[in-house]
Amino acid sequence: MMRLFDISVALVALLIFSPVLLVIPLLILLDDGGPIFFCQSRLGKHKRVFKVWKYRTMRDGKITRIGKWLRATALDEFLQFLLILLGKMSIVGPRPLTQDDVTRLGWDDAEHRKRWNVIPGVTGLVQIYGGTSAAHSWELEQIYLGNKSFWLDLKIIILSAVVNFFGKRRTKKWFPLEIQEANP
């Protein structure tokens, strides 16, 4: 059921935003003339490596003018809906990390193994409630993994939309995290 939901949401989102997604490459080219896309290897389910494509938002280590807008609206992430259609990602789940991220966070041990048993997502509790540290991010991921359900995913999708319109600070204030950890 979740796979069908993911495919349906991805198709609808791509259809609705297709005019904007077709204009973004032109805006990037007009802004700085650089490459349109950013590609990076990430770890997916069972730590299988796959490529994540995004619209490029930085040049020479600095966020571009268009990049600032793309990040604020999360439009730079929209190419990941194509990865959802390919089955590499889900709408909701732990973010796909690079191997360097996993090493830096210290999440390459048995305690964190369950994180790799699910398909990574475009959004999740960490993206909404912002892990302030590796420990806080892991706590949020454990809450998600321990309570994973269609209804929780739907709530996260709605909250992600609220973040896009009103920002993370207001969303966290208006909708504090109410999920209790379920012995993950």
- What confidence score (pLDDT) does residue 180 get? 47
| pLDDT > 90? residue 167 | no
Q: Which has the closest alpha carbon to 142: 155, 151, 154, 129?
A: 129
Q: Which has the closest alpha carbon to 92: 151, 134, 179, 138?
A: 151
Mean pLDDT, rounded, for 58-77: 90
Angle between helical axes of 134-147 and 150-166 (0-180°, round to 10): 140
Q: E-assigned strands of the chain?
A: 37-43, 49-55, 58-59, 62-63, 90-92, 121-123
Residue ranges covered by each domain of the chain: 2-174
Confidence of residue 75 (pLDDT cuts 50, 70, 90): confident
| pLDDT > 90? residue 53 | yes
Mean pLDDT, rounded, for 12-31: 93
pTM, two decimals, is: 0.85
Identity of the amino acid at 115: R
Long-range contact pairs involving 52-57 (C-beta distance under 8 Å, separation at least 24): 52/80, 52/83, 52/96, 53/79, 53/80, 53/82, 53/83, 54/79, 54/80, 55/24, 55/25, 55/28, 55/79, 56/28
pLDDT in tens, 101-119: 999 999 999 999 999 999 9
The two most distant CA atoms of the chain are separated, in Å, by 51
- Tokens 């809450």: give the residue: 143
- What confidence score (pLDDT) does residue 182 get? 42
Other beta carbons within 10 angstroms of residue 130's beta carbon come to: 14
- What confidence score (pLDDT) does residue 181 get? 43
Task: Give the distance from CA 35 to its chain's centroid.
Answer: 22
- What confidence score (pLDDT) does residue 183 get? 42
| pLDDT > 80? residue 179 | no
- What confidence score (pLDDT) does residue 48 get? 96
Mean pLDDT, rounded, for 36-41: 96
d(CA 2, CA 42): 22
Q: Which has the closest alpha carbon to 76: 86, 66, 84?
A: 66
Mean pLDDT value across the chain = 90
